[in-house]
Amino acid sequence: MRQIGKLTDEESAKRLVAFLLTKGIKSLADVHDGHWEIWIKEEDDVDSSRAIFDDFIAHPDNKKYADAVVKAQMIAEEELQRQLKNRDNVVDVRGRWAKPHNRRKPLVMTLMIISVAVFVLTNGWEFDGGREGEKTVVMKSLLFVDPDDVGAAIDDYVNNRAKTSESSPVELRNQAIDSLEVKLTNIKEGQLWRLFTSIFIHFGIIHILFNMVWLNILGGQVESVYGTTRFGFFVLGSAIFTVTLQSLMPMAWGGTPAVTICGGMSGVNYAIAGFVWMKMIFDPSKGLFLSPVNQFILIVWMLMGFFNESLSMANWAHGGGFVFGLVVGYVPSRFKNNKSV
């Protein structure tokens, strides 16, 4: 704190402190040796406070200083109400986690049911341990690009360029499986559901169990606090972002070629994790929680995918989802904090 001056009486000190508060400046009046010392709490406010102090000394009876007392009281009351409301929110959230969540997370339960149903209909267990199982009709209809359409799309790509390109047919086919033209074959036909439906496809028991556990732990919290509708938009947005990012990223950067199947809820789960992490830091009154151990596990697993090429993982879906959640969790909280200031 910095002292900006002294006043001779208490009433003057009250009026000046009140006026400073109406200007967003926090100050303190302290009596010492028969004088009232005016202290400013924030260093950045010192210069402007001194200008106000000088004006007050020159015009102590100005009406604006007398009116400031009432305004300051209103500001103090509003701040008290805000603090009480925040305290009540913390209590409500704690009580909320003490109760069963099943009735407050219908979307999470629906996503889990759909994922399990798709796992059964796609024979997901056949892909356990990296094995190549049979691609069922359901799987083909949910993937970003239908495997049955890829062959024709590749042939069209090669034939359209064979006469004008110096590349060999083999080189053209390698280019085709990594081209946006082939990868977007079904999307260009209006099959827009493919932008997100691959999140329901899982390969192996461990894959689906891991994703469902995390979806229940993290998604259940978010849906309970923010409601089913808002959580639904978050899931849809993160699913479209992560699936599209992973599917369209070039192979050289770890993207998925058109001839390779890719799926899973992990991109959405990482988005939820990033969101929860930001809310823990910038909006703790919401009561969202991700333990340090789980934070460590999620981060290490994501980094392992990027730096260990032997692991067949949708790294861009994981990383992109995490960044998506961080941004969505941070930006509104930042605006809220700025508005409060």
Supply the residues annotated as catalytic: 266, 318
Dihedral Cα 203, 205, 211, 217, nearest 10 deg = 170
Considering only CA atoms, which of 292, 284, 273 is closest in space to residue 337? 284
β-strand pairing of 27-32 with 35-40: antiparallel
Residue 212 is inside which H or E element, if any? Answer: helix 205-214
The three-class DSSP label of residue 277 is: helix
Query: What does each C-alpha distance from 228 to 105, 145, 201, 255, 339 come to in angstroms?
Result: 7, 29, 22, 32, 26
Tokens 């508005």, located at residue: 339
- Continuous segment of H or E residues that includes residue 69: helix 63-97
Q: H or E stretch including 32?
A: strand 27-32
Residue 259 backbone phi and psi in degrees, to 5: -90, 0
